[in-house]
Structure 1
Amino acid sequence: MSTTTEAAGPPRTQPAPTDPTRSAADRTPADRTATDRTATDRTATDRTATDRTATDRTATDRTATDRIAGATAVARTVPDSDPYVLYERGEDVFLAAGTAAEIVLGPDGLTVTAPTGTRHEPLGADPLGQVSAALAEVGGTGWQAFGWASFELAHLLHGGELPADTGTLLHLLHLLLPLHTAHLHPGGVDVDTADDAVARAWRDAILGAGHAAPRTGPAVTVDESARAEAYRGSVAAAVAEIGEDRFRKVILSRTVPVTEPVDLPATYRHGRAHNTPAGSFLLRLGGLEAAGFSPETVVEVAADGTFSTQPLAGTRARSGEPERDAELSDELRRDPKEIYEHAVSVQVAQDEVCEVSDPDAVVVEEFMRVVERGSVQHLASRVRGRLRPGATAWDALGRLFPAVTASGLPKAPACAAISRHEGARGLYSGAVLTVDHTGALDAALVLRAIYRAQGRTWLRAGAGIVGASTPERELEETREKLRSVSRFLVGEETT
C-alpha cells in the first residue's frame, strides 16, 4: 500500500500494484516497484546536487521544522524490536523502518540477510563492490537502502591495522532495506508500505505532529571537560609526532559520558531546531542508537555521476551575538593555523576526487567560505567532480572515506595515530548514508551527535591537530563543538 499525504487537504490512499492481502513480512524490496512509489516520491537523482548551507536551510524554516516533527513522530511508533533510520537530506526527510533485508560488513566478511535466508561470504579485494553487488541482488526494483559506516571501515578499505578493541564494535557497515518508508518533502508525504496498520499509524503520527508541542523532560547535564587532562596529553604527543614528520595533521577526539537517561527522539527534534546542519539523522540499527546534526557530507553522488564533498576545517565558536560572531568570523579568516588546516584538507579532498573523476570536471568552489554549524562556525569549501567511466558511487565513497576533516593527512599514518591515542571510535567520524537503485549515494559525516549502545550513552568531539596546535586551544575547541548537542539533551520522563 502507498499512501500520499498532501501538504494541504485530506490524505489520499492509492492501491499498491502488489497483492493487498500480503503481509509486511511477506513483502520484499522487489515488490516496491517504480509504479508502487508515487509520482511525488523523488529519488536522490533529483536533489543531491543541492548545496546544503546555513543560508539554504535555516533553523527557522517552518516547513523543515514540520517535516522533522512528522518524521520524529513516526520514529516513536516503530516497535522497540524493529530498526529504523531517519535521514534528513536537503529538503527531504526519510524514515525507514522494519527489515526486508540487511547487509552487514564486518572485519571477517559480508553477511546478507534476505527473505530467502542468510549467507556469509569472505571479503575480497573490493569490499564495497561486494556490498553493491549484494544490494543489486536482494534490493529488487526501485530499492533504497539506509544505514551507517563506522570509522574503522577506513582500515578495511585502505589496508591499515584495525585497533585492538575493534572487537567491541558490532559492525563496520550496516545497511537496511526497509519494509516501510516515509518520505517527507515540500510537496507532502509519501508512505510506502504493504501493511495497512502501519500506513494508518504513520499517517496519524505525521498529521498529529503539527499540532503537538515538542516533548520536554528533565534537564540533562554533562561534564564538558571530562577526560581533559588525557586529551591535553594526546594533543601534545601528536604535535611532537608531527614535528617528527610522521604526519601533517590528525583529528583527535575525546568522549564525554552522559550518565542520565536521555530521550533520543526528543533530543533530536530539540537539537535540530537549534542547529543548521548539512544533514541530520536519528537511528536505531545494529545495536546502536544515535542522533546527530552533521556539519558536512563525506560525499554526495547524483545518478548522473556528478559528485561533491564539502570539507570543513578551521573553527571558531558562535556566541549568538551578531557583532561578536562577526569578529570571530574575521579572526577565523585571518588565523594562519586555521587557514593552513583548511587548505591542506581541501588539497587532499581534491586529490581524492581526482582519483575517481574525469580530471576536466574537478573544481573547487566557495573556497574558505565561513558557514555556521550550531555552536561553532567553520571555514568551508566544496570540491566537485564527475565519475570517470566505469566508476561508481561506491568508488567515490571508498576514496573519500573517512573524511579528511575527521581523520587527518596523510590518511594512513593519521588513522594509525588515532588508533594509538583513542582506540576504536565506532560511528563517530564515520557516516550515516542512503543509497538507491539509480546509483545515487549520500553520506553525512557523523559528528555533533549523541550515541547509545551496550548500556552506555556518550557524546564525542574532536579537533584538528597541526604543528601550530596548543593543547589548551584544541581542548576548548572540543568544548565548543560539544555544545551543539550538550545544550539540547532532553531527559526521559520518569513515572
Structure 2
Amino acid sequence: MAPASPVADTPSIDDLAARAAAVCGAWASSGEFGEYVVYERDGRWMFAARPQARIILTKTQVIVDPAPGDEGARTREISWAGDPADALNAALDGLGLSHWRLYGWVGFDYCAPHHGLLDRVQDDVVLAHLIVPGLEAFVDVDGISAPGADEATLERLRELAERPVNAGSEETIDVGNDPDDYRGRVATAVREINEGRYQKVILSRSVDVGFDVDIPATYVRGRRGNNPARSYLLHLGGLEAAGFSPELVVAADGMGSVVTEPLAGTRAFGRSPEIDAAARADLLSDEKEIAEHAMSVRACFTEIESVALPGTTVVDEFMVVRERGSVQHLASTVSGRLDPDAGPWRALGVLFPSITASGIPKAPALEAIYRLEPQRRELYSGAILVADSSGELEATLALRTIFAEGDRAWLRAGAGIVGQSRPEREFEETCEKLGSVAPFVVRAAR
C-alpha cells in the first residue's frame, strides 16, 4: 500500500480538525461507500463504511447479517430477553469473525430492559445498530491511510478528499419557542422531586429545523465551531446524525481500565473574555449547579464500583470547568479496574444512559422522562460507539447533535432538573446548548 498522504505540514490542532472533518465530510457526501460512521477520537478521525456484517437490536429480536463468505451465511433473527449485553455478545460470537471492530449507535431506549421499562418501547423501535466495516480509513496528523484497502480505493479516497463540501449559507433556526410547554414540564418535575419521587431528572425538548439539511456539510461547519470531547457523523438504517459530544458515557481500554466522565452544570461560553470569566465564576459558586454535579459524580462512582474490582474505583478529577463550543460545564472523571466477569458490554449497560442525561435514582428518573417528554428521544442521549474484539469499547454521549430521518431534521437539548431548578433558567440552558449546533446547520442543495 502507498504511504499516507499528508494532511498538512505540522498542522495546528484547529487546522487538523477542520481539514480532517472536511475530508470525512467529502467521503460521506460522495455516496460511494454506502452507509458509514465517522468517529473522532484523540486527534484521529475514523471513517468506517461498506458494512460487511451488521447487528440490529430491537425490543424482541437481534438481527444478524453475518460476514460475506461465512459458510451458510444468512440473515438471522434471534429472539432475546433479559440483558441486551448478553444478546449483543451472543450476536458478536455468531459473526464468524476471529477479529473485528464495530461502529454504530445505541438509542436511548437501550436502557429500557435494564430498568423495567420495556413496556414503554414500541415493538419496531431499534435499540442498537452496529456494523463491522469492510472499509476503514483514517485521517490524522500523518495524513490519510486505509489499512487493507486496495490501491484504487486509497487513490479514490485521496481524490475525494480534495472535493469541496457544500459551504451553505447562514440559516436561522428559532430555538426560543416552547410549543410543548417545556417550562411547565420542568415545573412538574420540580414538584415531583420535592415530593421525594426522585432527586434529579434531565428533561429535554426537540426543535424541528424546518428544511432539508446537508448532514455531512453541517458536520464540517460545526466541527470548526466546537471543541468536543468526541465528534461523529453517521448514516445507518435511514438515520443520519452529526454531533459534537461533550462527554463519554463509558470507555474500556481492553487492558482493564473503565472510565466515565460526567458533566453537570452549564453556563454560556464564547461571548467575551470578561463575560465568560464571570459565567465561569458563577458556575463554580452556584449552589444548585454544585449540588447537581456532586450528586451526579456520587451516582457515577456507584455505577463504576458495581462493575469494577473491589477497592479500585476512584474520582480522578473533580469539578473542573471544561469548555465545549458555546457552553462551559462542571466536569469530573471517575475510573476503576474493570471486573473481567462484567466486561465492557455489561459496563455499558450499567452506565447507560449517562447519569447526566437521565437522572438520579436512574430508574424513577427514566420513568419520568418517558412520562413527561412528548416525543421519543430515539438516538438523543443514547451513544455513538466503537468497540473491538480485544475488549476495547468507547461510547460517547449523543448530545449537541443534529438528526435527520425521512423528511424531518431536528435538534434536541435538555437540562438537569433538581429541587432548586427554575423553569425559565432551565429553558435558557437548553437554548445555550442548542446554540452549539443551530448556527452551523447547512441547508441541503436543491
The CA RMSD over aligned residues, in Å, is: 2.0
Q: What is the number of residues matched between the two proteins? A: 438
Structure 1 residues 280 and 113: CA distance shift in structure 2, 3 A: same
The one of 2, 21, 46 equivalent to 1:68 is: 21
Alignment of 1:166-181 (within 5 A): 166-167=122-123, 169=125, 171-181=126-136
The one of 179, 200, 203 equivalent to 2:158 is: 203
The one of 47, 55, 66 equivalent to 1:103 is: 55
Aligned residue number for residue 45 of structure 2: 93
Give the superposition deviation at 1:181: 1.1
Percent same amino acid among aligned pairs?
46
Q: Secondary structure of 1:261's partner?
A: coil
Q: Which moved more, 1:341-350 or 1:69-78?
A: 69-78
Structure 1 residues 376 and 270: CA distance shift in structure 2, 3 A: same
Aligned residue number for residue 355 of structure 1: 306
The one of 373, 380, 405 equivalent to 1:428 is: 380
Is there any run of 5+ residues in structure 2 with no aligned partner, and where?
Answer: none
**Does 1:191 find its partner at 2:146?**
yes
Aligned residue number for residue 483 of structure 1: 435
The one of 246, 249, 255 equivalent to 1:298 is: 249
**Does 1:473 find its partner at 2:430?**
no
Alignment of 1:191-270 (within 5 A): 191-192=146-147, 197-206=152-161, 208=162, 212=164, 215-227=166-178, 230-270=181-221
Q: Which moved more, 1:402-411 or 1:315-324?
A: 315-324
Give the superposition deviation at 1:60: 5.4
Q: Secondary structure of 1:399's partner?
A: helix
Aligned residue number for residue 182 of structure 1: 137
**Does 1:118 find its partner at 2:75?**
yes
Q: TM-score, normalised by structure 2?
A: 0.93
Q: 1:108 touches 1:123 (CA, 8 Å); kept in 2?
A: yes
Q: Secondary structure of 2:177's partner?
A: coil
Structure 1 residues 59 and 264: CA distance shift in structure 2, 3 A: farther
**Does 1:369 find its partner at 2:324?**
no
Aligned residue number for residue 88 of structure 2: 131
Give the superposition deviation at 1:383: 0.3
Q: Secondary structure of 1:174's partner?
A: strand
Aligned residue number for residue 437 of structure 1: 389
Distance across 2 between alignment mates of 1:217 and 1:65 = 16
Give the superposition deviation at 1:99: 1.9
Aligned residue number for residue 115 of structure 2: 158
Distance across 1 between alignment mates of 2:99 and 2:140 = 18
Aligned residue number for residue 454 of structure 1: 406
Give the superposition deviation at 1:414: 0.5
Q: 1:314 touches 1:332 (CA, 8 Å); kept in 2?
A: yes
Structure 1 residues 290 and 101: CA distance shift in structure 2, 3 A: same
> Cα deviations across residues 455-488 of structure 1 (Å, max 9, x unaligned)?
2110000000000011100000000000000011
Distance across 1 between alignment mates of 2:299 and 2:101 = 30
Distance across 2 between alignment mates of 1:387 and 1:338 = 30
Distance across 2 between alignment mates of 1:107 and 1:406 = 21
Distance across 2 between alignment mates of 1:360 and 1:72 = 44
Distance across 2 between alignment mates of 1:480 and 1:228 = 18
Aligned residue number for residue 6 of structure 2: 7
Q: Secondary structure of 1:5's partner?
A: coil
Q: Which moved more, 1:328-337 or 1:152-161?
A: 152-161
Distance across 2 between alignment mates of 1:172 and 1:128 = 12
Distance across 2 between alignment mates of 1:449 and 1:59 = 25
Q: Secondary structure of 1:253's partner?
A: strand
